[in-house]
Amino acid sequence: MGHGLHYSGDASESSDLNWIFWALDLETKEMIRILAALYFTLISLTGYADSELSFLHGEWSGVGNQSGETSFVRHAWSPVLGGRMTRLNLHNLFSDKDGAPISFEGVGYYQATGDQAFKGFWVDNTGSVMPLQATLDGTTLTAIWVGEGDKLGRSIYQVSPEGVLLTQNSLKTAGGEWQKFGSAELIRTPTDGESKTMGKVTGIGGVFLKSKGDAKALSAWYRQHLGMSLEDFGGSVLQWEDDHAEDKGLTVWHVAETTSEWFSPSDSTFMINYRVDDLEAMLEQFRASGIEILQGPEYHENGVFAWIMDPDGNKVELWEPKIWDDANKK
């Protein structure tokens, strides 16, 4: 018999797939089994990015440069979807030209297509969704993507012989050259089961000011005008669980250039950024109390900012955080 169905009556009257398969002749059933086995074998042999990109798997962190500003970069590479794809979670902290902190986050997916090639896509908190194509050469993964305004972009991830992850991001100019806008050198973060080669900072544990005059009066000023409750020891303890901002809490650390005017008119070598829950209400409080608002409110992609001076001449930066969105900028 040829390959086909054997039935009595009209098969279109039944939607029972089990009945249809049972009605096939033995030769047809065997062919379906063979084709199914071949299909799943091919699936298992293709689309597996896990083994090819395993040299990238794990967590990495380090310092970089983003459009001329110091950046703090974290990568987390991991196999997902049963190893059929490799995912990159990226977090990049840096400042814009005005010194306002920026938190950039993105996720990339890579699927092997054979011959050291990959396809995938990239999404990030600026709203970008971009397809990408990538190639692997040894321990160097090069991804090509289409950015804003149909500009061609390139991201290179290279693990050096010393085990350092070197990254570079570029855009292609009208003249056909690659213009770099970001780079970083990252070291692998040891897992719990691995020995650590060095200690690292995990957060800001406290901020301590030395008053130029009356320490109690300065503390009282912060309590009265910034709403900081004072404990018996004279300082304030800020709990992360009390911060309900959209970004779920983060602390930005940055070293400014000697020529920076960011801290002006203060002559202090530091400036503290305070996260606030309602900046507009706080500014109204300042106006009512006769406190000069140096600048702001300024609306950036990651929130609203304003600046004042404390009685000791330290510049104070106030930040109402928002999830990164171009619509926040005014």
Residue 150's pLDDT band, with cuts at 50, 70 and 90, is confident
What pLDDT was estimated at residue 230?
86
Answer yes or no: is pLDDT of 17 > 80: no
pTM of the full structure: 0.50
Question: Would you state the pLDDT for residue 202?
Answer: 66
What percent of the chain has a predicted confidence (pLDDT) above 90? 38
pLDDT of residue 257: 82
Task: Inform me whether the pLDDT recorded for 117 exceeds 60.
Answer: yes
Highest mean pLDDT among 59-68, 162-171, 223-232, 235-244: 162-171
The mean per-residue pLDDT over the stretch 11-24 comes to 42
pLDDT at 323: 83
- In this prediction, residues 47-61 reach a mean pLDDT of 79
Q: Of 59-68, 152-161, 165-174, which range is least confident?
A: 59-68
Position with higher pLDDT, 226 vs 203: 226
Mean pLDDT score across all residues of the chain: 81
Residue 127 has pLDDT above 60, yes or no: yes
Q: pLDDT at position 310, please?
A: 93
What lies within 8 Å, CB to CB, of 228 at 6+ separation is 222, 236, 238
The pLDDT value recorded for residue 309 is: 94
CA-closest candidate to residue 209, choices 293, 286, 291, 272: 272
Report the C-alpha gap between 33 and 35 in whole angstroms.
6
297-308 pLDDT, tens digit each: 999 888 899 999
**Structural class in CATH, domain 215-328:** alpha beta
Per-residue pLDDT at 2 exceeds 50: no
Q: What is the pLDDT of residue 158?
A: 95
One fold for both 54-189 and 215-328? no
- pLDDT classification of 79: cutoffs 50, 70, 90: very high
CATH classification code of 54-189: 2.40.128.20
Residue 250's pLDDT is 75
Domain boundaries, the chain: 12-45, 54-189, 215-328
| CA atoms of 186 and 68, how far apart (whole Å) | 18
pLDDT (mean) for 135-143:
95
